[in-house]
Amino acid sequence: MDLTDFIFKTLISLLVLFTCIPVHECAHALTADKLGDPTPRNQGRITLNPFAHLTLWGSIMLVFVGFGWGKPVSVNPNNFKHPKRDMALTALAGPASNLLLAFLAMIVYKVVLFTVYYSSDVSLSYYLTIVFYLVVVLNISLAVFNFIPIPPLDGAKIFGAVIPERIYFKIMRYEQFIIIAVLILIYTGILNGPLQVIEDGIFNVMDFLTGWVNLLLGKLMK
C-alpha cells in the first residue's frame, strides 16, 4: 500500500469512526432508555455527537487496526423489568446497529459500483466505491469484534444473560486482563483468521440479501 492509499484509507476510517461508533453507543443508550433505564439519557448519551462516545485507544484501534470500541454506556439493571434479558437486548443493540449500517452501505456501494460503468468521471465513482466498501467492511468488523463474549465487549453482556450471575461476576473481575490478552491476539494475528472468516460470511450474506439491487439496476441500465 503506497502513501496515498494509506492516507485515503485512514481518512475513510476516521469517517467511519465519527459515524459508526456514535450510532453504536447511541443504540445502546436509546435501547436502555426504552427499556426503562434513564441513566444513559441523564448522562447525555442519547446523541449522535461523536465526542460523547469516543475513547482515545478505541478510536486508535479502529483507525489503524480495524477493530475498536467507544466509551461504554452506563446502565443500571435495577431499572429494568427483566434485568438479564434487558441487559442482553441493550448490549445487542450496539453491534446490531453496525450491521444495519453495513447493510445500508452495501446497497449504496452496489448503486455506486453500477454507476462506474456509466459515469464520465470514472475516478470519482471509483473512489466513492472504495468509500462505501470500507464503510461496509469496517462496520461489520466493529460488530463482529463487539460480539466476542469477553468483558467489557457487548458479547460478554449477551453471554451473561445465559450463564449464572456468580460465574459472570467472577469473569468480570479479570476484564482488564482479558481485553489486553485479546488485543495481543489480534495484534499478533492469531485471532484475525477466525474473525475474518466470520466477517466474510456476514459480508456474503449481505451481498445475497441485497441481490435485488443487482437485479433492479441491471434492468434499469439495459
For the annotated catalytic residues, the residue numbers are 25
Tell me if residue 149 falls in helix, strand or coil. Answer: coil
**Can you tell me the distance from the alpha carbon of 211 to that of 167, in angstroms, rounded to the nearest whole number?**
44
Query: Hey, what amino acid is at 105?
Result: A
Which residues share a beta bridge with 54? 70
C-alpha cell at 69: 470500541
* 52 HSE (CA, 13 A, CB side): 19
The answer to whether the bond into 152 is cis (omega within 30° of 0) is yes
Instruction: Please name which of 79, 60, 80, 77 lies closest in space to residue 68, comparing C-alpha atoms.
Output: 60
C-alpha cell at 19: 459515524
φ, ψ for residue 70, nearest 5 deg: -110, -175
**Can you tell me the distance from the alpha carbon of 195 to that of 203, in angstroms, rounded to the nearest whole number?**
12
**Can you tell me the distance from the alpha carbon of 187 to that of 197, in angstroms, rounded to the nearest whole number?**
17
